[in-house]
Amino acid sequence: MKKITKIPLLPDYIEGLINLRGELLPIINLKKRLGYNGNYNELSKIIIINGKTPFGIMVDKTKGILNEIDSKIESESKYIDSVLKKNNKDYILLNIEKLIEIKKTNITKIELNKKTKRKIQKENLKKVMVFELNNEKYGFIINDIQEIIKYIIPNKVPKIPKYVKGIITVRDEVLPVVDLNMFLYNKKTFISEYTKLIIINVDGVKVALIVDNTYFLISTPEIKKIPLTIKENKNLKGFLKYKNMSVMILDPKFIINNNIRVLNKKSKCTKKEETIKKEKYILFELDNEKYAIEMNSIIEINKLGKITRIPNSADYVRGFMNLRGEIFPIIDLKKRFKWGKVTDITDFSRVIIVSIDNQKLGFLTNQVNEIVQMNKIEFESNNKFVMGAGDYKGDVVLILDLKKIFNKNELMNLNKKIQNITKKNEEETNEKLSNSKVVKNNKSIEMKNNKLKKSR
C-alpha cells in the first residue's frame, strides 16, 4: 500500500492523501465510514474510484470482478444501491459517492503545478543554522545551505583525501561527502542517530558535510565582524552571540578545494538539471507524519524551554515560554488538529517560531527533521491550514500555513492573558521582596533593642 499523508481537521474516515502519478487523491477508510472496528495492514488494497472527483477507498483485499449476476434486489437505503445474487451468495453494491459524501470535504483533483511560484520577501534578518562540531557551536547562513538530511552511509572511493568519506546519491545526483570534523580538526566524527548531512552549493559545486548534530535555526539582525586578531582566517564569515555563547559562522567556500572539484566533476549526474526553481522547506514530524513549512515563514527553531500554563485557555494552548526575554504562546499542533493526545515532550521536541502581525507564536512539534527543496503541488481544499503539498522522494508532504492556525484577534487575546499573568507574578515577587525587607528591618530593630536592654 502506498504511503498516506494525514490532513488536519478532516473527518476521521478520510485517512489522507496519496501521490498517484502526479495526482493527489484523498483516501477513504471504508471500515471507519461503516462503523466497523479493526485496522488495515500492509496487505490491504486501495481501489481508485474514477469520476469528477477521483478518490481511493481502503479495503482488506480484492477477490475479483463480478461480471454476471443471477438477480438484483433494489434497496431503499441511502448508502446501499442494491443486493446482487450470484451462486446463492449475496453481494452488497454500495453507493460509494453517497456513502463517502466526498464533495463535503472539498478535496478536488490535484495536479502537479510545474510552474513553481517564487515568493520574494525582503528580510533584514539573517537566518543561521547552528550545528555542533568538536563540542563547539558553528553556523552556516541559511542561503549557503541547499538541504539538511539524515546521515547516509557513503560509498567509498579510492585515492581520495581521508576527510572525504565517499559519495552518496541524492535525487539522481552524486555528491562527495566530507567529514567536517576531520577537515578542520583531524578527528573522525562519531556517527550516531543525531548525525546530519548539510548539503552546500558553492558556485555549482555541491558537497555533503558530516556534522555531529544540528541544533536550531535562529534569526539575527547582524553577523558580527571577525576581530583583527583572527581576520586572516578565511574559514569564517563572522560570529554571533546567542545565549551567552559565541557561534562562529563558517564560509562554505573554504571547503571547496581542487580535490572536491575534481571528485565533483567526475561524479556529475548526466541528466539535465531541472529548470524549475525549487523552494526550501523545513520538514518536521507530528504524530509520525512528516509535514513542511516554507523556510521564509520561520523566524527561529529552538529547543523547548520552561512552559508556564495559561488559565482558561483552549486545550491546544500549552502555555507560554520566555526566550531571551521575549514571551510568546506555545501551541500544540496535535491538539490544534484534533488528533487526540497532547504532544509528548522529548529530547527531540522542537518549537517552530513564526510571526503573526509582529507577534511571535511558537508551535510544538515532535521533531524537526531536515531542510529540503521540493516542487510545490497546488490543490484546492477547504482546509485553511494547508497551503499545498510537495513531492519528496515520491511521497506527499503537506505544506502547512502556520500563520493561519491562529488569527490576529486570537493571538491578541492570548497575549493579554499572558501580560496579566506576568504582571501578577511581578507584583507577587515585588511584594515578597518588600515583605522580606520589612522582616529583616524588624529583626534588625529587635536585635538593637535587645543589645540596649543588655547594656542597661
How many whole angstroms separate alpha carbon 177 and alpha carbon 122?
Answer: 33
Cα-flanking dihedrals φ and ψ of residue 228, to 5°? -60, -30
Strand 136-141 versus strand 245-250 pairing type? parallel
The yes-or-no verdict on residue 340 having pLDDT over 90 is no
pLDDT at res. 265 = 56
Average pLDDT value for residue range 387-411: 78
How many whole angstroms separate alpha carbon 200 and alpha carbon 198?
Answer: 6
Common-topology check for domains 126-266 and 279-410: yes
CB of 40 within 8 A of CB of 54?
no
Q: Which residue has the higher pLDDT, 295 or 101?
A: 295
The yes-or-no verdict on residue 116 having pLDDT over 70 is no
pLDDT at res. 108 = 42
How many whole angstroms separate alpha carbon 262 and alpha carbon 159?
Answer: 12
The yes-or-no verdict on residue 210 having pLDDT over 90 is yes
pLDDT at res. 395 = 74
How many whole angstroms separate alpha carbon 135 and alpha carbon 263?
Answer: 29
Residue closest to 96 by CA, chosen among 38, 152, 50: 50
Q: Is 44 exposed, middle or buried (0-12, 13-18, 19+ CB in 10 A)?
A: middle
CATH number for the domain running over 126-266: 2.40.50.180
pLDDT tens profile 190-199:
998 889 999 9
Average pLDDT value for residue range 183-203: 89
How many whole angstroms separate alpha carbon 376 and alpha carbon 386?
Answer: 12
Q: Which helix (H) or strand (E) holds 313?
A: none
CB of 139 within 8 A of CB of 250?
yes
In the block, cell 481544499 appears at 381
- CATH says 14-111 is which class? mainly beta
Strand 205-211 versus strand 395-400 pairing type? unpaired
Cα-flanking dihedrals φ and ψ of residue 41, to 5°? -135, -170
Helix (H, G, I), strand (E, B) or coil at 62: coil
pLDDT at res. 105 = 44
The yes-or-no verdict on residue 118 having pLDDT over 50 is no
**Rounded to a whole number, what is the distance in angstroms from the first to the last CA of the chain?**
97
Q: Could you say which of 3.30.1300.10, 3.20.20.480, 3.40.50.2300, 2.40.50.180 is the CATH number of the domain covering 279-410? A: 2.40.50.180
How many whole angstroms separate alpha carbon 101 and alpha carbon 419?
Answer: 45
Beta bridge mates, 131:
138, 214
Kindly list the domain boundaries of the chain, sorted by start residue. Answer: 14-111, 126-266, 279-410
The yes-or-no verdict on residue 73 having pLDDT over 90 is no
